[in-house]
């Protein structure tokens, strides 16, 4: 069966973020028709939005069977977030787990509940730094720029490689 590639962003700043993110990777592999291919290092990042703890962020590349749609995968991501206690209270507020579907091959999709590519990924160093680590040459279908080129256009000073104590 043919498959597609997708890119997923992961983030956490509540609870034991490292454990949550590593367990989320395992849960992603349990999603029917989705298989992780690789994932980035973890990065500590300064949050956007209201005052809150720093985040741990990373990205993953997965293959998805052609029988699965982006919307179905998004629903699986939301279900995994809920398993880790994600409650959507405040835009850009703290969260135990955040999973975003960033890219799906070269697809451009605009639905009320899902936009691919993710509408703000080009402006977010906390996404571009880990994504460039594992998919530097992936082309953004909207701009035609590689992930590395997009990363070079943003301030990455508040994104540092996470060093476990």
Catalytic-labelled residue, pool 88, 91, 100, 120: 100
User: How many residues make up the chain in this entry?
Assistant: 165
98 is catalytic: yes
95 is catalytic: yes
* CB-CB contact of 165 with 41 (8 Å): no
Give yes or no: 140 in active site.
Answer: no
Distance CA 129, CA 159 (A): 8
Marked catalytic residue, from 68, 91, 95, 124:
95
Q: Spot the catalytic one: 89, 98, 122, 140.
A: 98
CB atoms within 10 A of CB 116: 24
Determine which one of 16, 30, 68, 86 is catalytic.
86
With contact defined as beta carbons under 8 Å apart, do 43 and 160 qualify?
Answer: yes
Dist CA 83 CA 75 (whole Å):
13
The helix (run of H) or strand (run of E) holding residue 37 is strand 34-39
For 106, other C-beta atoms within 10 Å of its C-beta total 14
The DSSP output letter for 122 is G
CB 7 within 8 A of CB 103: yes
Active site residues: 86, 95, 98, 100
């Amino acid at each position: 069966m043919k498959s597609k590639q997708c890119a997923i962003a992961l983030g956490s700043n509540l609870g034991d973020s490292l454990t949550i993110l590593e367990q989320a990777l395992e849960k992603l592999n349990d999603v029917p028709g989705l298989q992780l291919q690789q994932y980035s290092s973890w990065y500590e990042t300064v949050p956007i939005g209201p005052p809150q703890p720093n985040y741990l962020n990373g990205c993953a590349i997965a293959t998805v069977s052609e029988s699965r749609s982006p919307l179905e995968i998004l629903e699986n991501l939301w279900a995994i977030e809920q398993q880790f206690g994600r409650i959507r209270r405040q835009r850009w507020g703290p969260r135990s787990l955040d999973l975003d579907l960033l890219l799906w091959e070269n697809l451009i999709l605009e639905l009320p509940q899902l936009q691919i590519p993710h509408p703000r990924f080009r402006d977010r160093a906390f996404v571009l730094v880990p994504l460039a680590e594992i998919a530097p040459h992936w082309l953004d279908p909207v701009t035609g720029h590689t992930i590395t080129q997009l990363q070079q256009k943003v301030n990455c000073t508040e994104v540092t490689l996470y060093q476990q104590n």
